[in-house]
Amino acid sequence: MLPELGQFSLILALLLACLLATVPLVGSLTGRDGLQAFARPLAAGQFVFLAVAFGILTHAFMVDDFSVSYVANNSNSMLPWYYKFSAVWGSHEGSLLLWTMILAGWTLAVAIFSRRLPAAMIAQVLAIMGMICVGFLLFMLITSSPFVRILPDVPADGADLNPLLQDFGLIVHPPMLYMGYVGFSVAFAFAIAALINGRLDAAWARWSRPWTTVAWAFLSIGIALGSWWAYYELGWGGWWFWDPVENASLLPWLAGTALVHSLAVTEKRGVFKSWTVLLAILTFSLSLLGAFLVRSGVLTSVHAFASDPERGKFLLALLAITIISSLTLYAFRAPVVHSRVRYGSLSREVFLLLNNVLMMAALLLVLVGTLYPLILDYLDLGRISIGEPFYNLTFSPVAIAVALLMGVGIFSRWKKTDAGWLGKHLLWPAAWSLVIAVLVPLWHGSFEPWAFIGCFAAAWVAVATLQDVWHKSASRHGRWHGAQRQSRSYYGMVLGHLGLAITMAGATVVSNYGIERDVRMSPGDTASIGELQFEFAAIGNREGANFTAQTAQVNVSKNGDPITTLYPEKRQYRVQQSIMTEAGIDGGLFRDLFVALGEQVGDNAWAMRLQYKPLVRWLWLGAIFMAVGGLLAVADKRYRIKEKLPAAKAGAGTKTGAGTGRGTDPGNDSAEVTA
């Protein structure tokens, strides 16, 4: 009975979404306030019914209702309860429901937190989000309902959740990632509404900004969690595989990063409008493209969902309608501005523009790398070899360029920056970075050109950022007073940039100075990495809730002093009969020790993979910094101004409360409206 109610609830949500997509929009175009006022209650209703459906599916998992096909395929009565819970989004149908519910959640959030926006604007934004929701609900109901029953032959037990996914990382990774993907739909909806109205002004940018930043922060965390999960769960200690699905999450992140910066320029200076609005469309389109790539089966990947041509076609149609209609609207409505150049060649505007250019370059590299099998296949040209080496070769220089540019850009000012003044400011960062870039390779014992460049770039960003904080916090009333005078959005930016420096340092050091050894060991054997000795002490069997494991005991010591004992495992999951490697990891801020148990390669010998991973945690620590920075920026005072800004003149109003962060910016007072 309950699963049918779940299905019914989805249908009700679809009906409400259809109303949300039309009624407020008609209201806003005909100027009838009564119709616009429907937007908020409809958004709430749509969310409630999706949440009910989600709750019912969760209930079906919790009570082991194997008459529901999705539950039977992805759960088992032996599964621990927390994995039964996360199994709700462990496969295609359920994760689609989660995706759609989060979309409705964002819609509701916009409805709640946008009381001060003009009614017509908010009606349009909610209507556009309603349209997206209609698309996904149709997709779910037509091709992928999670509530389909297996009747009358109900299986006695379920086929179990894929063991790869039985892990804490999977409980949190998809929701975070989807919060990010779907969150960009808000920026998209604002962009489309602004295009419809022809009001691409600073006020539009200011409204979009916090939503974009929050989505970006969630996506950063989601990607980092995925990378962390791959690191300890896939068993080989890699943290990024350039797998199509990973790339699918990186693409909207790169576009989103560009968008966050471009929105800053549009808000502060009223320029780059057409570009910003295109980026907003692009970012969300790439989120949808990611969904398509993962769920259509056009690319092979470690974690793609089971492929089904019908689903692929439906999603592609959804993608096509969204993108082509929004780009058509863009082509007709985006402002073609013949503006006088209001900024010099060394202005902050130009630095942020270059940032966007580099982000687009990185994005194109990843996009081409991801899609080339498809494109070549289509053109019948099977003649190019690229794989992981391609990305490492091309992506790293772009990342370095981003960092070098950022260090300079941090000191730049709106409108124009004096070259001599800028040069003086860069002396210290240059000196410090050079010292660090020389010391790090010396410390690790060997000089690698990439390590030098990477460390230099990371240190460059970090030192420049900190130096900027030092300058900005100078005050007659003492440094503490000066530091407090800076806005939250400024500190958000500082954290975001430091986060990038940290991630970059981690990636550089672990790629260049990580040590991996594949050895063959019998109990009693010792293998060493540098000064560390790994003693394979014993191996035995262990019973888990739904698996049997071979567990090895490995004692790690340094010159005779014990450091830690690791227990790497090979688990045989009973229901799916699949084997999983569970690595033994001793984590630390400066290094991880990683031992994975491999195949048995003789009567009493096993393949072992021993790894020393310096600074590997920094990869994810940096992402946490970025996300916290993003959330801090959103908590800035200027997003909570009480007065209602008259939309037409909002551009001039952006100064209110915004000046705090840019106390030294000469250009802040004259955010012109160019349209």
Partner 1 sequence: MRRVFLFIPMLLAIILGVTLYAGIGKDSTALESELIGDPVPMFELASLEDADVTLGPELFRGHVSLMNVWGTWCPACRDEHGDLVWLAREKGVRIVGLNYKDTRAKAIEWLDTLGDPYSVNIYDPEGRLGYDMGVYGAPETFVIDKEGIVRYRHVGVVDEKVWETTLEPLVREYGGEG
Shortest reach from residue 465's CB to partner 1, in Å: 33
| Nearer residue to partner 1 within complex by CB, 153 or 603 | 603
Shortest reach from residue 337's CB to partner 1, in Å: 9
How many helices (H) does the chain have, and how many strands (E)?
20, 10
Q: What is the DSSP string of 57-69?
A: HHHHHHTT-TTBH
Candidate residues 115, 517, 542, 644; the one interacting with partner 1 per rule CB under 8 A: 517
Token pair of 138 as six digits: 């149709």
| Nearer residue to partner 1 within complex by CB, 62 or 327 | 327
Q: Would you tell me how many other CB atoms lie within 10 Å of the CB of residue 635?
A: 14
**Cα gap 159→155, rounded to integer Å:** 9
Closest residue by Cα to residue 319 from 280, 277, 287? 287
382 lies in the site for partner 1, by CB under 8 A: yes
| Nearer residue to partner 1 within complex by CB, 331 or 589 | 331
**Cα gap 134→482, rounded to integer Å:** 50
- For residues 572 to 611, the per-residue mask of contacts with partner 1, x marking binding by CB under 8 A and - elsewhere, is --------------------------xx-x-----x----
| Nearer residue to partner 1 within complex by CB, 10 or 278 | 278
Candidate residues 4, 157, 418, 518; the one interacting with partner 1 per rule CB under 8 A: 518
313 lies in the site for partner 1, by CB under 8 A: yes
| Nearer residue to partner 1 within complex by CB, 406 or 554 | 554
Asked if 137 contacts 18 with a C-beta cutoff of 8 angstroms, the reply is: no
Closest residue by Cα to residue 271 from 332, 208, 327, 201? 201
Shortest reach from residue 374's CB to partner 1, in Å: 4
Token pair of 558 as six digits: 């340094």
| Nearer residue to partner 1 within complex by CB, 57 or 286 | 286
Closest residue by Cα to residue 534 from 462, 489, 586, 474? 586
Shortest reach from residue 309's CB to partner 1, in Å: 4
Q: Would you tell me how many other CB atoms lie within 10 Å of the CB of residue 60?
A: 24
330 lies in the site for partner 1, by CB under 8 A: yes
Token pair of 630 as six digits: 């993003």
Token pair of 606 as six digits: 């096993």
Exposed e or buried b per residue across 362-400, where buried means at least 16 C-beta atoms within 10 angstroms of its C-beta: bbebbbebbbebeeeeeeeeeeeeeeeebbeebbbebbb
**Cα gap 427→503, rounded to integer Å:** 24
The residues, any chain, with a CB within 8 Å of residue 284's CB and separated by 6 or more, are 184, 185, 187, 188, 252, 322
Q: Which helix (H) or strand (E) holds 648?
A: none
Shortest reach from residue 268's CB to partner 1, in Å: 24
- For residues 237 to 256, the per-residue mask of contacts with partner 1, x marking binding by CB under 8 A and - elsewhere, is -x--x---------------
| Residues between 141 and 160 that touch partner 1 (CB under 8 A) | none
| Residues between 332 and 371 that touch partner 1 (CB under 8 A) | 332, 334, 336, 371
| Nearer residue to partner 1 within complex by CB, 44 or 337 | 337
Identify which range of 152-160, 325-333, 582-590, 614-622 contacts partner 1 by CB under 8 A.
325-333
Q: Contacts with partner 1: how many residues (CB under 8 A)? A: 57
Asked if 262 contacts 292 with a C-beta cutoff of 8 angstroms, the reply is: no
- For residues 278 to 307, the per-residue mask of contacts with partner 1, x marking binding by CB under 8 A and - elsewhere, is x--xx--x------x---xxxxx-x-----
| Residues between 534 and 553 that touch partner 1 (CB under 8 A) | none
Work out the angle at residue 197's Cα, subtended by the Cα atoms of residues 191 and 198, and round it to the nearest 5 degrees: 80
Shortest reach from residue 229's CB to partner 1, in Å: 14
Residue ranges that bind partner 1, judged by CB under 8 A: 234, 236, 238, 241, 274, 278, 281-282, 285, 292, 296-300, 302, 309, 312-313, 316, 319-320, 323-324, 327-328, 330-332, 334, 336, 371-378, 380-389, 517-520, 598-599, 601, 607
